[in-house]
Amino acid sequence: MATTPMSRNWALDLLRLVAVLVVIWHHQLGEEAVKSCLGLWQLTTRGGWVGVDLFFVLSGYLVGGLLFQEQVRFGSVDWKRFLIRRGLKIYPAFYVLLAVILVPELQSGAPRIRKIFGELFFLQNYLGGLRDHTWSLAVEEHFYLLLTALVVWLARRNPPQPDPFTAIPRIVAGVAVACLGLRVLTALCSPDLLSGPFVWTHLRMDALAFGVLLAYGAQFHGAVMRRYLERGRLGLVAVGVLLLLPAYLLPPETGILLQHTVGYTATYFGAGLLVAVAATQQVRTPPRWLGWVATLGAYSYSIYLWHMEVTYRLFRELHLKRDWSPWSTAVCALLMSLVVGVVLGRCIEWPVLWWRNRVFPSRTGANPGVAKV
């Protein structure tokens, strides 16, 4: 049996940090400000949305790994405990953020009820949200529920055996084809909707499913997976980066059909190659400075949650009202987002997780940390 795919290593932590950094950079000043900044600025901000797909693959890998590991060790999955633990990981910090957002929203005199409802019940990606980034949390929540039901069903459907999940590769392939087909159909039928529909769960969950496939390979075919990865580790990293680059290099005028259809497939495949290489990285002590930087990845969920408040409430106003340069505004906002995320992660997220681990301890003893999973 392969070593658990949940083994923590600095390479995965570093990927979490990279994912959140490119998303923050992408969201800095808004589309109006970015359009006025040509050249290198547009190039570095244009493709930051790939960070979300990297998050999706990481989430699928980590959450799928938890479920597979529990099934292997105990012959069953305590799905109630699992979902309670996931809820305590996601909901407390999110609802604190939502309370902060709702105060000015309710004081405005014309609250957007539909969007408030969407935020409250994690339907932001279908009903619209009060912030531009919370839709990804809805996609992940929907996927967690579907994945848990699938794992429990497969385990009960198959008699006791070392690997009751042999159907996972076929299911993931089916999800990939179905999501791609639905994206193409949506793009052809609604070319004027821009990226709006492409936050729907049924159009984006293939990235999470690909992460689950990687977790399945690491858990049940770890030796084979490592052997193939080690033969061409650097080449696979290069291919992964190349698959992510079109998001930065191709202008938006390339059209919906490319970016929002096969573009998403290529992006999560590239992100998956990076995750696979990082996940099978032999545990070595990194240079001290790199290890310190990688530990910031443990705060990626809180950083991701709060970065839009930092951007919208503070630094975007400074840029627009005080005529700060885009670069100075973005760098300051990026650094402040990291500080705010770390501080609030310590104050809100970590105490809840400490209580969770005492009251609802993991059956496997695995601790995926406080990354966005």
Q: Which of 11, 21, 17 minimizes the C-alpha distance to 276?
A: 11
Q: What is the pTM of this model?
A: 0.91
Does a structural domain hold residue 370? no
Q: Where in the sequence is the domain holding 355, given as residue range(s)? A: 10-359
Does a structural domain hold residue 39? yes
Which residues neighbour 219 within 8 Å (Cβ) at sequence distance 6 or greater?
Answer: 2, 4, 5, 65, 68, 69, 72
Task: Name the token pair of 367.
Answer: 């601790």
Does a structural domain hold residue 189? yes
pLDDT of residue 329: 73
Does a structural domain hold residue 149? yes
How many residues make up the chain in this entry? 373
pLDDT tens digits for 167-184?
999 999 999 999 999 999
Whether residue 16 contacts residue 22, with contact meaning beta carbons closer than 8 Å, is answered with: no
Domain count, the chain: 1
pLDDT of residue 32: 44
Rounded to whole angstroms, the Cα distance separating 206 from 174 reads 9
Does a structural domain hold residue 368? no
Does a structural domain hold residue 369? no
Query: Would the pLDDT of 66 be above 50?
Result: yes
Does a structural domain hold residue 240? yes
Rounded to whole angstroms, the Cα distance separating 222 from 230 reads 12
Query: Would the pLDDT of 246 be above 60?
Result: yes
pLDDT of residue 1: 34
Rounded to whole angstroms, the Cα distance separating 300 from 62 reads 14
| Helix ranges, 245-348 (H) | 246-249, 256-257, 263-279, 288-295, 300-310, 316-322, 326-344
pLDDT tens digits for 184-219?
998 888 766 655 678 999 999 999 999 999 999 999
pLDDT tens digits for 79-120?
999 999 999 999 999 999 999 999 888 887 777 899 999 999
Does a structural domain hold residue 110? yes
